[in-house]
Structure 1
C-alpha cells in the first residue's frame, strides 16, 4: 500500500480493508429522441468502497435511470442504484430537439474480484425500467486504470458518525476557492452543514452521517458566469447559466469532478461554489450545488440537496424554466409530485388529512398574480445587471408576502393534492401548500418529502432489512 493511500485510509473512521471503489466512465450522446452510450475508461479509485454489502440493492424505485451489477457467470444481482443525470435533464430542453450533445457520466460500485455485467436501464413512460446499455467489466482487464491522480488537499472531518460502510457519506466539495481562501471554505462548509441538520429528518438522523470536506485550490477566486462575461477555470468546473438558466449551477466536467471526489468516501456530494450570486442545482445521485455567499445559501443548500439526495421534484411552477412544457401528463417517478390520474391511488394517500378533497382547493389565482409581478421584477434586475442586493431584497419581500398568504389559507396544514408543480400550473400536484421544495419560505420539508428522505437514509444507514418508518 502506498503512503498516500495509507494516509487516506487513516482519515476514515474505523476503516477496514475491503474492495476498492471501481468506476465506469462513459459518454452519453444523443438528443430528445435517441441516445447512445460508449465506454471511456475503467478506473480503480484510491479509497475502499464506502458502501455496505448488506444494503447493496436499491428498492426505493427512485431515478430516471438505474444501473445493475450482476455476476457474469451466474447472473446474480450484486448491486443496484437509481440515479438521474445531466443528460436526462438536457433531453427535456428545447435545444435537445435541434442538436446532439455528449455528456460524461460515471457508475461507481465495489471493485469486483471476477467479471461482472453492468446494465444501464432507463425509465419508460409506464415507470418500468428498460435496458439501454450493457457491458462486461473484467477486473483483470489490462486497461483498468489503478493510478492515483494528484491529491486535491487535506480531507476534513466535518461530521463523524462512524465507519463509512455503516453511514451516509456526504462530501462537501469546494470550487472557486484559492489556497488563501481555504479557511473560508471550511467556515462556509461547517455553517451550511449545521443548517442542513436543523431540518427533519436530517436533524433526528445526524448520527447516521459522516460529512467530509475537500477543497482543491483554484488559481482564481470564483466560478464561471458566462452571461456576464466571467469565465474561470475552476478545479471542479462549476458554472452558472447551465441550460441558459442564469441561476442554475452545474459542472459539466464529470471526469475532473470524479477524480477529485475520489479522495473522500462518498455517496453524495454538495459542491460549494465561492460566490454571492443566487444560484445552485441538484441532480439525484450525482451532486448538488450552492453559491456559498448568497443571502439565500441556507435555503438553496437544503432545497437542492433534496433533489440530489432523494430525487425530490421541484414543486414550484411560476419561475422561468429551462425545460420544454410536457406534451403529456405521465405520472412522475418523484415521490412528492403526481399527475393525480386516479385520486384513489394517490402515492401519498397515507398522509392525506381525512376528509380532504382531491384535488385540494387553494387560492391559486391570487398566488399566481403575485408571482407574475415578482418574476417581471426579477427579469428586470437581471437584464439591467443591477446589484445582487436588489435581488435579495425582492426575494425577501416575496418570502414575507408568501408566508402571510399561506398562513391564512384554510388548508395550510393539510396534506392533499394542490395543483401546481414541476414547472406546470396545470396537471401536476404537490402534497402540501408549502414546503422547502416549493418556496424560499421558512418552512420544513413536508411530511411526504420527509418520508422520501428517510427512505434514502435507511438505504445507506438503516439496519439490514429495516423498513422505512410508517406515516403518522
Structure 2
C-alpha cells in the first residue's frame, strides 16, 4: 500500500471514533455598498472530525473584517470564536457594489456542540470596532441537518504528516484545472511549494507544527478560466482570473462546491493552486489563498498569498492597481503589519524599534515611486497587448533587481521603524521595514510579519 494513502487511512480511522465532529453553517450574504443581509442556507455535519485544538477555541487575535461567536443557547456561555474576512467584504468596496446587489455563499466551521447554540456574526464599523450584524440559532442535532460524505477521501495525499490533526495546523493544498494525466504534475508541484513555504521563516522553524494535505479533483480540461483573454473552463473549484475585473486576481465564488470538496480532508487553512502559468493569485483571511502553480513566480505567489489567508497580513505595496477601493479614512488598521500611528508609545511594533530610529523612517520613497509607476505602465501595456508570459516574467525580474539595488543603499535598510507607504496608500500608512514579501517579490517576511504568523501558529496548534 502507498505510504501516503496508509497515513491518511489512519487519520480516517481516528476520525470515525473521535467524539467531536466538524459542523459547518452555510449561509447567504447579500447586499451592496449600503446594505447587507444574512440568511441561513443549511447546517452541515462534515465527514471528518474537528481538526483543530479542542482547548484553543477562543480567538484573541481578531484580525479579520468579521468575527463569529458561538454561544450555548441556554447559558449564553461562549463556546467558540473566530475572526475572518470574506469575498463579500472586499466586493462591497468595489464600484460594482455601488450599482447592484449581489449574493455570496459563505460558511462558518466549528467543533460540533452538544446542543442548540446561538450564532452571532459581527462586522467592523467605520472605527474598526466589531458590531453585531446577524444572529441566528441552530440545533446541531436536528434531523434535517445535512450529513456530508468524504467523496474525495481516496484522492487525498499526505504531503507532510507530523501528528494528530487536532495538535497541528492542517494546511490543505487544493488543485484546480488538473486532468487525470496531470495528477502526477500536481503532486510534484504541491510538494515543491510545500518545501518553498517551509524554507521561509517563520514556517521553517515551525515545520513540525504543520500537517500538509493535497487534493486535486480531476477535470477534463487543463487550466482555469481567464475571461479577459476569452478563456473559459468549467473547472471543479470554479477558480478564475479577473476577479473584480483585476487581471491578476484569482478567486472562486463557488463556496458550496469548494467546501464540499475540501471536507474530504482535515483542514484549518486552504491554498488553491491553479494549473496555469499566468502570474496571479489571491488571499483572504480565514477563507483560502490561490496561486498560479506554473508561474515563474509560483513560490512567491504561494507564500505571499498565504500570508494574507493564514495571518491576516495586509499588502504593504501601494503603487500597483487593485480591484477594490483603498482606505479612505486614516485610522489604525486591524492588520498586524501596517499602522497609521507613529507615536512611539502606541506603535504596534514599538518593542522592536530602536529608540534612535527616526519615525517616520527615511527611505528613497520618491526614487522608488518614480521607478515603480513607470514600471506599472509597462506592465499594464504588456497585459493589454496579451504578450507572452515570458516577457512579463522578464519585466518582474528586472524590476526586482532594480528595487533591491535601490534599497541596498538605503541608510535604514534592515532596520525596524515606520516607512510611509503601505496598505495601497502612498501616504498615511506605514510598514515596519523597508522591504518584505508583502511589499515586493522578495524572499523573506519582515520581523513584524513573522511575529504575526507565529501568533496564528500558536492559536491553531498545541505546542
TM-score with structure 1 setting the length? 0.94
Counterpart position of 1:235: 236
Counterpart position of 1:176: 177
- Is the Cα contact below 8 Å between 2:342 and 2:360 reproduced in 1? no
- Is the Cα contact below 8 Å between 2:8 and 2:158 reproduced in 1? no
Unaligned runs of 5+ in 2: 1-5
- Is the Cα contact below 8 Å between 1:168 and 1:210 reproduced in 2? yes
Counterpart position of 1:450: 450
- Write the deviation string for residues 31-72 of structure 1: whole angstroms up to 9, x where unpaired: 112111001111111111111111111111211111111111
Q: C-alpha distance in 1, partners of 2:362/2:428? A: 14
Counterpart position of 1:314: 315
Counterpart position of 2:338: 337
Q: C-alpha distance in 1, partners of 2:12/2:194? A: 19
Structure 1 segment 95-244 matched on structure 2, within 5 A: 95-148=96-149, 150-151=151-152, 153-244=154-245
Q: C-alpha distance in 2, partners of 1:143/1:414? A: 58
Distance 1:13 1:433, change over 3 A: farther
Q: C-alpha distance in 1, partners of 2:295/2:390? A: 10
Q: C-alpha distance in 1, partners of 2:387/2:274? A: 21
- Is the Cα contact below 8 Å between 1:18 and 1:49 reproduced in 2? no
- Write the deviation string for residues 332-389 of structure 1: whole angstroms up to 9, x where unpaired: 1000001126443111111112211111111100000000111011011001111000
User: How far apart are residue 156 of structure 1 and its match?
Assistant: 0.6
User: Does the residue aligned with 2:61 lie in a helix, a strand or coil?
Assistant: coil
- Is the Cα contact below 8 Å between 1:153 and 1:214 reproduced in 2? no
- Is the Cα contact below 8 Å between 2:342 and 2:418 reproduced in 1? no
- Is the Cα contact below 8 Å between 1:153 and 1:215 reproduced in 2? no
User: How far apart are residue 143 of structure 1 and its match?
Assistant: 2.0
Q: C-alpha distance in 2, partners of 1:206/1:7? A: 18
Q: Does 1:282 align with 2:293?
A: no
- Is the Cα contact below 8 Å between 2:67 and 2:82 reproduced in 1? yes
- Is the Cα contact below 8 Å between 2:118 and 2:136 reproduced in 1? yes
- Is the Cα contact below 8 Å between 2:225 and 2:234 reproduced in 1? yes
- Write the deviation string for residues 305-352 of structure 1: whole angstroms up to 9, x where unpaired: 000000000000011111223322121100000112644311111111
Counterpart position of 1:468: none
Counterpart position of 2:3: none
User: How far apart are residue 125 of structure 1 and its match?
Assistant: 2.8
Moved more, 433-442 or 163-172: 433-442
Counterpart position of 2:66: 65
Q: C-alpha distance in 2, partners of 1:113/1:68? A: 16
Counterpart position of 1:78: 79
Q: C-alpha distance in 1, partners of 2:138/2:452? A: 33
Q: C-alpha distance in 2, partners of 1:123/1:290? A: 28
Q: C-alpha distance in 2, partners of 1:58/1:148? A: 29
Counterpart position of 1:3: none
User: How far apart are residue 262 of structure 1 and its match?
Assistant: 0.1
- Is the Cα contact below 8 Å between 1:415 and 1:431 reproduced in 2? yes
Counterpart position of 2:367: 366
User: Does the residue aligned with 2:155 lie in a helix, a strand or coil?
Assistant: coil
Q: C-alpha distance in 2, partners of 1:21/1:262? A: 9
Structure 1 segment 31-50 matched on structure 2, within 5 A: 31-50=32-51
- Is the Cα contact below 8 Å between 2:148 and 2:260 reproduced in 1? no
Structure 1 segment 343-362 matched on structure 2, within 5 A: 343-362=344-363
- Write the deviation string for residues 226-266 of structure 1: whole angstroms up to 9, x where unpaired: 00001111001100000111000000100000000000000
Moved more, 133-142 or 341-350: 341-350
Counterpart position of 2:327: 326
- Is the Cα contact below 8 Å between 2:317 and 2:422 reproduced in 1? yes
Moved more, 155-164 or 134-143: 134-143
Q: C-alpha distance in 2, partners of 1:88/1:460? A: 24
- Write the deviation string for residues 177-216 of structure 1: whole angstroms up to 9, x where unpaired: 0111110000000000000001111000000000001110
- Is the Cα contact below 8 Å between 1:306 and 1:312 reproduced in 2? yes
TM-score with structure 2 setting the length? 0.96
Q: C-alpha distance in 2, partners of 1:9/1:60? A: 34
User: How far apart are residue 130 of structure 1 and its match?
Assistant: 1.2
Counterpart position of 2:386: 385
